[in-house]
Amino acid sequence: MKNHAPQAAVPVWTLLVRVTHWAVAACVAINFFNESGIWHRGVGYACLLILLLRLADGYWLSKSFTSRFYLPSMADIKLHLKELWSGRVSQHAGHNPLGQYAVYVMWLLIILLGFTGWLSRTDAYWGVDWPVDMHAILSATLQMMVIMHLLAVVLMSRFQRRNLVKSMMSGK
């Protein structure tokens, strides 16, 4: 007879990872609905500062495995895609290989959004179209990545039979 006792919760996400995750998510959501003006810029720059804190944590500060940065190999990605295709996905402490790269893409988009937003307000580029156009393209790309992220969380929660949203709230 199998023991169906619940498994003990294992710490996965540090408090700093969780706070910065939800703070960046809030900033992105706020700026999605508030498309211009002083509040948009303020929230955008706050988002950059929060992201810089997270980058410092992942690169220098944290001793937690899931807070540290890593680059999944092509073999890791191929294995993960094969598992997705089969419908049986390995448990990952932290992000799966595709999720890790998706995080890096979203962070890069946020940094580029901050740069193009700032650039469009400088004297040299005031009234020039390309920084504003690039900002709009980057924003649309980030919105697409956020939608993919949300869908992936739902899909991976189902495949792994774990509530990934709950783990990003509790850390376990």
pTM summary value: 0.86
Domain housing 70: 15-170
- pLDDT (0 to 100) of residue 93: 72
Domain membership flag for residue 125: yes
Model confidence pLDDT, tens digit, residues 95-150: 888 989 999 999 999 999 999 999 998 888 888 899 999 999 999 999 999 999 99
Domain for residue 2, yes or no?
Answer: no
CA distances from 34 to 26, 38, 50, 79, 136 (A): 12, 10, 19, 40, 13
Please indicate, yes or no, if residue 83 is contained in any of the structural domains: yes
Band of the pLDDT at 3, cuts 50, 70, 90?
very low
Residue 128 lies in a domain: yes
**Is residue 5 included in any domain, yes or no?**
no
Task: Please report the pLDDT score of residue 66 as a whole number.
Answer: 65
Q: Is residue 7 part of a domain?
A: no
Q: What are 45-80's pLDDT values in tens digits? A: 999 999 999 999 888 776 666 667 788 889 988 988
For residue 3, being part of any structural domain is answered with no
How big is the CA angle at 87 (ends 69 and 169), to the nearest 5 degrees?
Answer: 45
Domain total in the chain: 1
